[in-house]
Structures are given as structure tokens and as C-alpha cells.
Amino acid sequence: MTVRGVLFDIDDTLFDYSTSERVGLLKHLAAEELLELFPSPADAVALWRQIMEEEYTRFLAGELTFAGQQLARARRLLAHVGRLPAGDPSDDALSVWFARYTTFRKSAWAAFPDAAPALSSLAARYQLGVVSNSTLAHQREKLHAIGLLDHFGDAVLCSEEHGAPKPDPGIFLAGCALLGLPPHQVAYVGDKYDVDACGARDAGLRAYWLDRTGAGADVPGADGITVITSLDELVTLLAA
């Protein structure tokens, strides 16, 4: 089947989320004089990522607001190192703490080097869009900051506004509808095997799993999913 449109995940697909998270967190903890409370910087990052995954999952499930998961992450990390003020800090205090982290993280925001060239190449032949598990305002701000928003126009769909996160098939189909194309004419590219690749495939899209880290060596092969290691490879495969 001919592919006429391509939908993308954002974090760790187009945008180097993991690097900005690590750099931002370590600078923030150092500034707050908290980094020395961890066995190593790697331990600090590992804990923060575990907390993020757990609290963000609660946000996607509708148990927390987007801001609420940020507050929960701040509260849990401070409690872990014994720096949570007595009497439980107010939401305002936690929000200010998280905002200081966000400032450091934003200073490290960057697109992957292959993102802009790939999107520029694909734009000549395909309709492009985004489907992301986040909020629209946050992801549009991010795409604008890293210079990629103009590639997508209004074709940016996020789970908060849609009402259900990936891998729910409905959000993939809604993304196809934004492009005005049937699912079998749309490719989806994302870095998470279960959420992105399997979710897109099961919704009837052409699924491309972007395995930048080489984790695919430990994942069993699956019909209907094409594994790529870069967005350059995506451009080549679609052209073929």
C-alpha cells in the first residue's frame, strides 16, 4: 500500500528528551545541593526516571493532571533524600521547585540531528503530523523551541485533549483523520515498542519502531513492525 502520510511521536523520537532530562536534573540537583545525597549522578537519574514513569502513567490514566504529576514527582524525590519539609510542602512550593528543574531542562532542549533533515525531505512527498502522549500546549512549545513545529502546522494531536493515550487505537485513528488519510496510508514512527509500534500496527497503520539505543536486540520480532535505527533510514525505506 502507498504511504501518503507520516505521523510521529515526539519525545526520544524527534526530540532528545532523555538527554535534556539527565542534564537538567543533574544541574538542578547540584544547584539545590541535593546531588551529593545520591550514591552517584547515575543513581539520581535512575530514580528520577522511575518516579517519572510511575507518576506520568497516573497522568495518562486520568488519575493526575499534567501539573499534578509534576508535583508528585517533586514530592517523591524530596522525600527520598529526606528533604521534604515537615508538614508536607504546599503545591505552590513544589511547583516552584519543579519550575527550577524545568528551567535547567529547557536549556538542554534539542532535536535529534536527523530530525529536521528527515522532516524537510519527507515534507515534499508526505503529509506530516504528530501523535503524542502529553498535552498540546506543552508539546507545541517544545516543537517550536527546537525548530520543528512548522513541519506539522495544526496536525499535532495529544492524549490530554484527545481523551485517551497511546496505545489506544482511537488516538492513532484521530491522527490519521487530521491528515485526511485512511490508516493504511499512514506510517507511524515512535521509540516505544509497545506504546508506539504495536499500538500503531494494531490500529491499522504502517508501524516503524525507532530503536536508537539498540534495545531491539532483546525484543522478539513482530509482524507488521519495521525496525529502524535512525530517521535517515525511515526516509530511505519510504522512498523505496
By the 8 A CB rule, do 185 and 5 touch? Answer: yes
The dihedral of CA 116, 117, 121, 126: what is its sign? negative
* Pairing verdict, β 156-158 and 127-132: parallel
pLDDT value of position 209:
95
The average confidence (pLDDT) of the chain is: 95
pLDDT tens profile 57-69: 999 999 999 999 9
Closest CA to 230 of 205, 213, 206, 207: 213
Which of 31-40, 112-121, 170-179, 213-222 has the least mean pLDDT? 213-222
By the 8 A CB rule, do 121 and 235 touch? Answer: yes
pLDDT tens profile 151-183: 999 999 999 999 999 999 999 999 999 999 999
Model confidence, pTM: 0.93
pLDDT confidence bin for 223, thresholds 50/70/90: confident
Give the whole-angstrom CA distance, residue 98 versus residue 149.
25
